[in-house]
Amino acid sequence: MKTDLQTHFDNLGLTPQASQWLLDVWDAIQLFDDVADKDDIERKDLDRVIYSAFVGFNQNQFFSENYHSLNGLLNVALVKWQASDTAERTGKANEKSFVWRASYYDLVVYCTILCQGYEFAHKNSQYLMDMYGEDYKDYIKEFKNA
């Protein structure tokens, strides 16, 4: 999946710094989800996320230049992920939790706007929307079978 994301970011013409920041966020989301689900975590993955969180974000020029808006979006994405996770854990997974689960892609859209402008993002909005690879039917099946 991470390779697919990099390909998408390249296709969208995101800067290397924007792509790296988005990939670092992706790694953090995946690791924290594994922690919440009590899945096994490889030490190298943990070490990479620890570095990104404490050093990498701060050294990333794209993040530094856009800190205030990106930090706000990270706050929104966190709340949306926590809400969807709560719904999933309490047996209330539905269309809303499915949509809120995909808050990472809000960051991708915004980074595209920052790197390429609104007109480019608008022109490529179908491509951006299609980046989310999970289907609702597969999502809901995951929780009905749990």
pLDDT at 117: 98
pTM: 0.91
Pair 67, 52: CB distance under 8 Å? no
d(Cα 84, Cα 67) in Å, to the nearest integer? Answer: 25
The whole-number pLDDT of residue 146 equals 52
The parts of the chain modelled with pLDDT lower than 70 are 1-2, 144-146
